[in-house]
Amino acid sequence: MPTRRRFLRTFTAPLVSLPLASTIGECRPQSEKVLRVALMGLGGYAGRVAEAMKDCRRARITGLISGTPAKLQEWSRRNQVPEKNCYSYQSMDAIKNNPDIDAVYIITPNALHKEQTIRMARAGKHVICEKPMALNATEAKAMIDACKNAGVQLLIGYRMHFEAKTLEIIRQRNAGEFGKILFFQGLSGFRIGNPGQWRLNRSLAGGGAMMDIGIYSVNGARYMVGEDPLWVTAQETKTDPGKFKDGVDETITFQLGFPGGAIASCLSTYSMNNLDKFFLNGDRGFAELQPATGYGPIQGRTGKGELTAPHITHQTVQMDEMAAILLDGKKPVVPVDGAEGYKDMVIVDAIYEAVKTGQKIAIRL
Amino acid sequence: MPTRRRFLRTFTAPLVSLPLASTIGECRPQSEKVLRVALMGLGGYAGRVAEAMKDCRRARITGLISGTPAKLQEWSRRNQVPEKNCYSYQSMDAIKNNPDIDAVYIITPNALHKEQTIRMARAGKHVICEKPMALNATEAKAMIDACKNAGVQLLIGYRMHFEAKTLEIIRQRNAGEFGKILFFQGLSGFRIGNPGQWRLNRSLAGGGAMMDIGIYSVNGARYMVGEDPLWVTAQETKTDPGKFKDGVDETITFQLGFPGGAIASCLSTYSMNNLDKFFLNGDRGFAELQPATGYGPIQGRTGKGELTAPHITHQTVQMDEMAAILLDGKKPVVPVDGAEGYKDMVIVDAIYEAVKTGQKIAIRL
């Protein structure tokens, strides 16, 4: 419905366009409330989210949080967000009293997620936090607890959990079409550029490729196999210690063992381009995704042929679905809540421990 | 030259057709002697080799060794091998005095390779031994020593070392077309059938899938990366302990670290069908083979597109090339000698040790 969407986009800004409310009500069931989202951290990925949200039916940007006044000004103009809904990191606790904002989407360096999530929870807002949700499982647990205590929901930016070809594979797996699942392979990597960026700063990123791109194989292993792993082993190699300092992993291979007997064999790297491949193998069939987690279009196939589900911008679907979760209590096929993010952090912690100790590490979720 | 080949096949049998020698001399340079091979172990794979050798220019079957008299009779008739060149495992040492046989190709269960190689070396015959060459590196060393002491050559049945698409990738890699090599992935597996076969009997096979199919990823990792690994880690899973007894591995994932910084991530399995995929990744390009090591046709591609080298039956090329190695001292691009087989056995030993201890095992070649 591009026409209706464009109509809504134009006419619902500025923000609270009360005169139109009844008109909107006619087009949309009463229950379909719109999730009003403040974006926190106006970097490259936030730009992608904002662009994608222009096509959302059920979510729109109503607030902005940034440490850079010029960015707030530019973004506020471009997204028709009134100045009163724009915050700095100093002033953002005042969002508590802002009735125009239901949820805050945190898109900042990993090291900031914990404190920011807790502050926004305390301000009574639902939190959507980009992945990895934190630097480690301890932080993740604190975030979950803070949201629970504040009575708000915590979601993690797992856009792939709503991607159509991924969901089709999960549907087929659940229907037994691949038989007993035995193997998952995930290759997640790209060649990282500018050595000065926060992703290569351990204190901001909490690690290296694993935190940023390897997490796709960690998470993908779980949603593709459909189980949570029992153990992990991992190996690290570093070809450029100048670029990848101590504590910033360049390349890690890791293996996960699952209760049903499946094993996952994965690669996380900042030194190889265009590695974005999932392969799931059962005793009666297989599924492949390549690209598997990029911004799309995702391409997938099984033994029966190519998957044909159409591409929709991931962040558009994600934000519409997250609106349904937060506003209507909808249950997604693959969870995107804090508990889901916590599992990945436990596994990442275990991967780093496995690298350090050379031991097989038990995963306790 | 199918016509000439058919001509030779017809007219050079029975074996020593002296009247035709001058005619043959006209078609073939004097140096192009023919390697006269005795096949030992007349099972399924020997049948494939025999069929392929019908198209060989430089190798032919002139002897047979089997424990089953009926097989000797049938094979002797089908391959025009005179009865005097047929041996049992009891009588085979007498091959020493048989001038019709240059080399013995051992295609028997793994556990028999060592003793048979040593006996044939002592009989003064070159040995071609199917892979894995032995049960472990200690045995492999003894075989190499025995051949050296006897003044005969020892080759291992590495047919992929002569495969055209594989060699094209190696050529491109050596020319730097993939840049610095960073990653190899090998998936080697099939779903094994009949649980009573020798491949699932530890005392004959020396292990399970690793000895039989995993060895392709072990060997492939080395010829694709172009280096020998420094260390290995490995993990085992078993979903069917009834079929795969103690010491018979069903599924092992293993990782190899290389001096240049590359890492290999491989799967060896007897429980998943049609896994035969190699992926080589450098910082400037990649190569893929799938199928990578099956009987062909092999399919391969790089970033520049599909590889187009034509398929020739692997065992035909292998035996012609091995004739050139044994008779003319030709040096293959990728070695196929005992030392090459020994390296794989050292790595397999290390993989089993890594599985058992859970430790990263240093590889000392």
Chain A positions touching B263 (Cβ under 8 A) are: 235, 237, 251, 253, 267
Q: What is the mean pLDDT of residues A66-87?
A: 98
Q: What is the mean pLDDT of residues A18-29?
A: 43
A141-189: per-residue pLDDT in tens? 999 999 999 999 999 999 999 999 999 999 999 999 999 999 999 999 9
B99 and B82 Cβ atoms separated by less than 8 Å: no
pLDDT at B290 over 60: yes
Across the interface, which of A182, A237, A239 has its CB nearest the CB of B239? A182
Q: What distance in Å separates the CA atoms of residue A275 and residue A189, rounded to the nearest whole number? A: 5
Q: Where does the pLDDT of residue A223 fall: very low under 50, low under 70, confident under 90, or very high at 90 and above? A: very high
pLDDT for the residue B31: 61
Helix B338-357 to helix B137-150 angle (10° resolution) is: 160
pLDDT for the residue B13: 39
pLDDT at A117 over 60: yes
B158-200: per-residue pLDDT in tens? 999 999 999 999 999 999 999 999 999 999 999 999 999 999 9
N-to-C CA span, chain B: 42
Q: What distance in Å separates the CA atoms of residue B306 and residue B308, rounded to the nearest whole number? A: 6
Q: Where does the pLDDT of residue B11 fall: very low under 50, low under 70, confident under 90, or very high at 90 and above? A: very low
C-beta atoms of A257 and B263 within 8 A:
no
pLDDT at B351 over 50: yes
Q: What distance in Å separates the CA atoms of residue B42 and residue B48, rounded to the nearest whole number? A: 10
Q: Where does the pLDDT of residue B30 fall: very low under 50, low under 70, confident under 90, or very high at 90 and above? A: low
Work out the angle at residue A182's Cα, subtended by the Cα atoms of residues A207 and B256, and round it to the nearest 5 degrees. 50
B182 near A CB under 8 A: yes
Mean pLDDT for all residues in chain B: 93
B138-155: per-residue pLDDT in tens? 999 999 999 999 999 999
Q: What distance in Å separates the CA atoms of residue B212 and residue B199, rounded to the nearest whole number? A: 7
Q: Does CATH number 3.30.720.210 belong to domain B160-310+338-362?
A: no
Q: Where does the pLDDT of residue B24 fall: very low under 50, low under 70, confident under 90, or very high at 90 and above? A: very low
A289-311: per-residue pLDDT in tens? 999 999 989 999 999 999 999 99
Burial class (CB in 10 A: 0-12, 13-18, 19+), B355: buried
Indicate if B114 belongs to the active site. Answer: no
C-beta atoms of A187 and B187 within 8 A:
no
Indicate if B131 belongs to the active site. Answer: yes
Q: Which residue has the tokens 């494939």?
A: B48
pLDDT for the residue A24: 41
- pTM, rounded to two decimals: 0.89
At residue B253, φ and ψ (nearest 5 deg) are: -100, 140
C-beta atoms of B257 and A271 within 8 A:
no
Q: What is the mean pLDDT of residues A57-65?
A: 98
pLDDT at A27 over 60: no
Q: Where does the pLDDT of residue A12 fall: very low under 50, low under 70, confident under 90, or very high at 90 and above? A: very low
Taking only residues 220 to 239 of chain B, the set having a beta carbon closer than 8 angstroms to any beta carbon of chain A reads: 233, 235, 237-239
Burial class (CB in 10 A: 0-12, 13-18, 19+), B246: exposed
Longest dimension (CA), chain B: 65
Q: What distance in Å separates the CA atoms of residue A150 and residue A118, rounded to the nearest whole number? A: 9
C-beta atoms of A275 and B281 within 8 A:
yes
Q: Looking at domain A2-158, which of 3.30.420.110, 1.10.10.60, 3.40.50.2020, 3.40.50.720 is its CATH number?
A: 3.40.50.720
Chain B positions touching A235 (Cβ under 8 A) are: 233, 255, 257, 263, 360
At residue B251, φ and ψ (nearest 5 deg) are: -135, 125
A242-282: per-residue pLDDT in tens? 999 999 999 999 999 999 999 999 999 999 988 999 999 99
Identify the closest residue of chain A to B266 by CA–CA distance: A265
pLDDT at B1 over 90: no
Q: Where does the pLDDT of residue A48 fall: very low under 50, low under 70, confident under 90, or very high at 90 and above? A: very high
pLDDT for the residue B4: 41
Q: Where does the pLDDT of residue B21 fall: very low under 50, low under 70, confident under 90, or very high at 90 and above? A: very low
Record: fold of B2-159: Rossmann fold (3.40.50)
C-beta atoms of B272 and A183 within 8 A:
yes
Kindly state the tokens that stand for B209: 């899938």
pLDDT at A20 over 70: no
pLDDT at B229 over 90: yes
C-beta atoms of A360 and B358 within 8 A:
yes
Q: Which of B87, B105, B158, B216 is catalytic?
A: B216
pLDDT at B17 over 90: no
pLDDT for the residue A5: 43
pLDDT for the residue B7: 39
C-beta atoms of A237 and B267 within 8 A:
no
Identify the closest residue of chain B to A258 by CA–CA distance: B237
pLDDT at A115 over 60: yes
| Closest residue by Cα to residue A348 from A282, A266, A243, A238 | A266
Measured in angstroms, the CA of B237 and the nearest CA of chain A are apart by 7
For A275, other C-beta atoms within 10 Å of its C-beta total: 25
Host H or E run for residue A252? strand A251-257
B259-287: per-residue pLDDT in tens? 999 999 999 999 998 899 999 999 999 99
Four-residue CA torsion sign, B143, B144, B149, B150: positive
Mean pLDDT for all residues in chain A: 93
B121 near A CB under 8 A: no
pLDDT at B313 over 70: yes
The domain limits of chain A are 2-158, 160-311+339-362
Q: Where does the pLDDT of residue A32 fall: very low under 50, low under 70, confident under 90, or very high at 90 and above? A: confident
C-beta atoms of A235 and B360 within 8 A:
yes
Three-state SS across B60-85? EEEEEECCCHHHHHHHHHHCCCCHHH
A271 near B CB under 8 A: yes
Please give the share of chain B, as a percent, with pLDDT higher than 90.
90
pLDDT for the residue A31: 61
Kindly state the tokens that stand for B10: 């017809």
Work out the angle at residue A352's Cα, subtended by the Cα atoms of residues A347 and A355, and round it to the nearest 5 degrees. 125
Host H or E run for residue B344? helix B338-357
At residue A216, φ and ψ (nearest 5 deg) are: -65, -40
Q: Which of B180, B181, B251, B255 to mutate to test the interface with A (most CBs of A within 10 A)?
A: B255
Q: What distance in Å separates the CA atoms of residue B165 and residue B280, rounded to the nearest whole number? A: 13
pLDDT for the residue A29: 53
Q: Which of A255, A268, A271, A283 to mutate to test the interface with B (most CBs of B within 10 A)?
A: A255
Of B55 and A24, the structure prediction assigns the larger pLDDT to B55
At residue A114, φ and ψ (nearest 5 deg) are: -60, -55
pLDDT at B288 over 60: yes
A187 near B CB under 8 A: yes
Record: fold of A160-311+339-362: Dihydrodipicolinate Reductase; domain 2 (3.30.360)
A195-207: per-residue pLDDT in tens? 999 999 999 999 9
